[in-house]
Amino acid sequence: MSSQSATTRFIVPPRQGEPGVRRRHPVLVFVQRVSPSQGWATFAILAVTLSIVSESITAAEWVDIPGLTSTMLLASLVGLGLAKIRVPWILMHIAGLALGALFILWKASSMVDGESLGDRMGELFDRLDVWYDAAVGGGISTDLLPFVMLLLIAAWLLGFFSSWFIFRWNNVWVAVVLAGIAILTNLSFLPDQFAARFFLFMLMAMLLVVRMDSMRKHEVWRRLKIDFTPTSSWLTLHASLWFSLLVLSAAALLPLKVIVSDPIADLWRTGRTPVARVETVFTRLFSTLPSRKDTMGRFFGKTLPFMGKISFGGDIVAWADTEYPSYWLSQTYNYYTSQGWIASGTERLDVGPSLLPPPSIDNRRRQDMEQTVQLSFDSRKFLSGGGFDWVSRPATVESLDPREFVITLNDPSIDAWYPVEIQQLAQEFRIEITQPRLEPADVFVAGRLPEDLVLLELTEDDDGDVDTIKLQRKAQIAPDLVAWLFKDSLPQNAQYGVISMVSVATDDDLRGANAEYNSFISDHYLQLPPTLPERVRNKAEEIAGGLDNPMDKALAIQDYLRGPEFTYSQDIDAPPRETDGRETDGVDHFLFVSKEGYSDYFGSAMTVMLRAVGVPARLAAGYAPGEFEPNSEMRFIKDSDSHGWAQAYFPEYGWIDFEPTPNWPEHERVLPESIFVDLPPGFGENDPLEVNINDLLDPAAEGFEEEGAGGGAGFANLPFDVTRFLVPTAIVVGTLAVIALLARFLWNLGLGGFSTEERLYAKMSRLGFIAGLRRRPHQTPWEYALVIGQAVPSAADGVRHISARYAAARYGRHATQNDDDPDDVAVDELNTAWNHARWSLIGRAFGRLAPMRSSRQPAQAR
């Protein structure tokens, strides 16, 4: 009998509950693929850091800008995504910037009117074109849409490049430096109460740096096959958090005095010069941005736009020895636009102790007044108490250039911006230039010009016909000085002497002045734009048109503006960009709509109304006379004295000050009896004033109307102003409290309802995991206690006691009985054991932050 052997295959089905091949969810696979090697925690810290920067800008309320934070975070996500694409970096930068441009254009278009996207885009580009013309032409812009776009562009660039450099090139410092520049630039224009945001920014920046450094170390340790605990980066963050909070709290609370050497201060001033120029241009192009910070030493630039809210403090910016309570002139403005004032082109002339300025011919009833001034801040510009005649330091004065006129024969629309005389000449040239003639065109034009006009240039088109004629008014004999500045910056608290020609003419003297003006004066100081609303001219005629001399006209307009119809206020909104579909005129808006403003508005209104009734006038800017202090017999000029006023021109008498602002006293052109004591020889040349300004101030004096002095009475005797540190301190303390509460919540999460033994054993296991002593699933409480005791001998007794009590409570014979909780003695013993074990395990956890090369060989070598 033969038998066949058979092979039987047994298929053993998997046991119930035994895991087979696991398939990960597609979402998890995608998240893993896009996850940065630096970890999502790094991106979260970066996002919080950028959010602090954007929040500081939003909180300043410079302008209504929607979605600044979302723009910055979206840009950081784009930067993260593009950083993971392994193509040449230049292509990714182009892609990121292109996406940003499209997003910003879409965002900005939502802020303009229009039924369709195309209409809104057209309106957007039209407004940008107008703004660009103002930028390149030296004009003034009140449209804040370009500023909104500038902020959106900055937000996108900051978010994109911060994320790119971190996640592509592991460079955290680019992100920190760019974000730091952004927040410091913003905070430098804000009051001190906003400074707390910088402390929060520094906290997150420190954590970001520590996080990136920890991740780089982990990568190095992996390559070197060094054992480390993956959770060590969180321990590093934990330690860094508390250290950073300690450092920042000390920095916020300590009243430190910064001592800077003179060479460093000089270097700072040199580097600050181009920044100051940019600030001047910035003010011109975004003129309606509100002022958020008390200024210190306001000197005026080439433009004076109609702005919104301004704020000045009570600090002393200068003090002077003078017998005449004159206005302190810094800059005058001759060219009016609907958005504000512009100082036209000038020629600079050198002056100094041995080089006098050109003499003025309008010096009737003027008297030289010696004045000594000391500024409390660095400055190139200086103040003069009237017509400038001499200065003790090398300086330059700016003399107004004669006005130029370009007549375009084929385009008469620009003629309306010129004086009537030039308009008539343009009409004559358009008729006569086309007539047959023997002489060349330039000879023909020059022969028909009045004596005070000269031909600069004549251009012809391709057919040989005259296209444009450029004329210039001849300069007057005596230059018209409009501003003055030192050759080099005057250091803080340095003095200079100046001789000012102050007017002592009476009202009757000025009523008898000649009312005939030369063309140079008429060109510059009767100029008004053709866009000026007719109701402004009508109002001026209504007030002063019936009077027969310029002095009475000036007094009538001054009295009207000082009347009850108008209110002085620094807390105002800037004039809107448009009114009834056309550009808003600042003076018109002030006279007929708002009827409130500060001195710039009152002075502008009087200047424009004087010009409307044929009186040459200009806007002057500088400081009011200041307050006389009898103890020192000097005048103190404060931030709150920053001022604008009107000046009217009277032939032979020169420029006369008028005060249209209602809450300022009217200016008196009389010399008071001498109330000053003569100062010793040499005063005002080199040595600083031998007087402490703070000692001369009356502490009981009434505060300033606009921006009162801060500080509560309870802190009055402290050597520093503690109130400025209260807000950042409160924020830091509040942050500490929130972090502590959050850490406590997370630490105790899931322990509710546990007995004392179970709760302490769970905490011991968690802390052991952080210390690199993770409990294995097969280990009993006694075995786990043995592992910890061998690794951390100082914790052995504590962990054995906790493990024993836990095992007894969980698995012992009393585990199923409804026994009461341990008595007080047992609880005290458990807490004592936990305290010993806890600190030993914490020490073990921090000790593992320092990597040690493993004594074991790699697995593949064993």
Task: Examine the pLDDT at 533 and tell me if it is beyond 80.
Answer: yes
* Residue 169 belongs to some domain of the structure: no
Is the domain of 489 the same as that of 391? yes
CA 283 to chain centre: 11
Exposure string over 800-813, b if 16+ CB within 10 A, otherwise e: bbbbbbbbebeeee
CB 513 within 8 A of CB 653: yes
d(CA 39, CA 36): 5
Kindly state the average pLDDT of the residues 168-196: 86
CB 61 within 8 A of CB 147: no
In this predicted structure, which of 19-23, 170-174, 518-522, 840-844 has the lowest mean pLDDT?
19-23
pLDDT recorded at residue 860: 36
In this predicted structure, which of 114-118, 221-225, 429-433, 561-565 has the lowest mean pLDDT?
221-225
How distant, in Å, are the alpha carbons of 31, 33, 34 from that of 26?
Answer: 9, 11, 12
Q: What is 182-214 written as a DSSP string?
A: HHHHHHTTS-GGGTHHHHHHHHHHHHHHHHHHH
Across 87-91, 377-381, 475-479, 855-859, which has the greatest mean pLDDT? Answer: 87-91
Q: Give the structural domain span for 434.
A: 404-473
Task: Examine the pLDDT at 309 and tell me if it is beyond 70.
Answer: yes
In this predicted structure, which of 225-239, 313-327, 606-620, 835-849 has the lowest mean pLDDT?
225-239
pLDDT recorded at residue 259: 47
Is the domain of 483 the same as that of 353? yes
Task: Examine the pLDDT at 363 and tell me if it is beyond 90.
Answer: no
The residue ranking higher by pLDDT, 184 or 72, is 72
Is the domain of 527 the same as that of 625? yes
**How many domains are contained in the chain?**
3
Which residue matches tokens 């391709």?
462
Q: 444-499 pLDDT, tens per residue?
A: 899 899 999 999 999 988 888 889 999 999 988 888 999 989 998 888 889 999 99
Is the domain of 373 the same as that of 515? yes
The residue ranking higher by pLDDT, 525 or 282, is 525
* Residue 529 belongs to some domain of the structure: yes
pLDDT recorded at residue 8: 43
pTM of the model: 0.67
d(CA 117, CA 137): 30
* Residue 827 belongs to some domain of the structure: yes
* Residue 436 belongs to some domain of the structure: yes
Task: Examine the pLDDT at 30 and tell me if it is beyond 70.
Answer: no
What pLDDT band is residue 853 in, cutting at 50, 70 and 90? very low
Cβ partners under 8 Å of residue 106, min gap 6: none
pLDDT recorded at residue 297: 52
Across 139-153, 155-169, 192-206, 303-317, which has the greatest mean pLDDT? Answer: 155-169
Kindly state the average pLDDT of the residues 645-672: 88
SS3 171: coil
User: Beta strand 634-638 with 316-321: parallel, antiparallel or unpaired?
Assistant: antiparallel
Q: 189-248 pLDDT, tens per residue?
A: 887 778 778 888 888 888 888 888 777 777 777 777 776 666 555 555 555 665 566 555
The residue ranking higher by pLDDT, 338 or 311, is 338
Query: SS3 for 299-315, per residue?
Result: CCCCEEECCCCCCECCC
Is the domain of 508 the same as that of 656? yes
Q: List, in sequence order, every beta strand (DSSP E) within 409-556.
A: 453-460, 466-473, 481-490, 495-503
Query: Of all residues in the chain, what percent carry a pLDDT higher than 70?
Result: 78
Q: What are the tokens at 416?
A: 């309306």
Domain boundary among 473, 503, 526: 473
Query: Of all residues in the chain, what percent carry a pLDDT higher than 90?
Result: 34
Which residue matches tokens 């885009």?
121
SS3 320: strand
d(CA 223, CA 668): 84
What pLDDT band is residue 617 in, cutting at 50, 70 and 90? very high
d(CA 376, CA 321): 15
Largest CA distance in the chain: 156
Is the domain of 686 the same as that of 777? no
Is the domain of 519 the same as that of 458? no
The alpha carbons of the chain give a radius of gyration, in whole angstroms, of 39
Domain boundary among 651, 675, 695: 695
Cβ partners under 8 Å of residue 754, min gap 6: 762
pLDDT recorded at residue 230: 60
Task: Examine the pLDDT at 438 and tell me if it is beyond 90.
Answer: no
* Residue 711 belongs to some domain of the structure: no
What pLDDT band is residue 526 in, cutting at 50, 70 and 90? very high
pLDDT recorded at residue 759: 85
Gap between the terminal Cα atoms of the chain? 56
Is the domain of 689 the same as that of 774? no
What integer best gives the mean pLDDT of the chain? Answer: 80
d(CA 37, CA 806): 40
How distant, in Å, are the alpha carbons of 198, 725, 727 from that of 192?
Answer: 11, 9, 9
pLDDT recorded at residue 6: 44
Which residue matches tokens 């008729």?
431
CB 285 within 8 A of CB 137: no
What is the amino acid identity at position 548? Answer: D
Q: What are the tokens at 48?
A: 């919080």
What pLDDT band is residue 340 in, cutting at 50, 70 and 90? very high
CA-based nearest residue to 81, from 17, 50, 36, 37? 36
pLDDT recorded at residue 821: 56
pLDDT recorded at residue 717: 40
List the beta bridge partners of residue 396.
Answer: 350, 485
Which residue matches tokens 């050109």?
358
Burial of 665 (0-12, 13-18, 19+ CB in 10 A): exposed
Is the domain of 433 the same as that of 569? no
How distant, in Å, are the alpha carbons of 332, 485, 518, 560 from that of 555?
Answer: 21, 32, 23, 9
pLDDT recorded at residue 710: 35
Kindly state the average pLDDT of the residues 553-577: 94
Is the domain of 576 the same as that of 635? yes
d(CA 221, CA 228): 8
CB 643 within 8 A of CB 599: yes
pLDDT recorded at residue 255: 46
In this predicted structure, which of 226-235, 303-312, 334-343 has the lowest mean pLDDT?
226-235
SS3 132: helix
Cβ partners under 8 Å of residue 688, min gap 6: 374, 493, 494, 495
CB 376 within 8 A of CB 317: yes
The residue ranking higher by pLDDT, 857 or 656, is 656
Exposure string over 152-189, b if 16+ CB within 10 A, otherwise e: bbbbbbbbbbbbbbbbbeeebeebbebbbebbeebbee
Is the domain of 553 the same as that of 583? yes
* Residue 647 belongs to some domain of the structure: yes
Is the domain of 326 the same as that of 414? no
CA 62 to chain centre: 9
* Residue 713 belongs to some domain of the structure: no
Task: Examine the pLDDT at 421 and tell me if it is beyond 70.
Answer: yes
* Residue 826 belongs to some domain of the structure: yes
Across 32-36, 451-455, 809-813, 843-847, which has the greatest mean pLDDT? Answer: 451-455
pLDDT recorded at residue 265: 55
pLDDT recorded at residue 605: 98
The total of other beta-carbon atoms located within 10 Å of residue 333's CB is: 24
Q: What are the tokens at 82?
A: 């593009």
Q: 373-391 pLDDT, tens per residue?
A: 999 888 888 889 888 889 9
d(CA 126, CA 527): 28
Exposure string over 721-730, b if 16+ CB within 10 A, otherwise e: eeebbbebbe
What pLDDT band is residue 290 in, cutting at 50, 70 and 90? confident
Task: Examine the pLDDT at 680 and tell me if it is beyond 60.
Answer: no
How distant, in Å, are the alpha carbons of 298, 331, 490 from that of 379?
Answer: 10, 14, 5
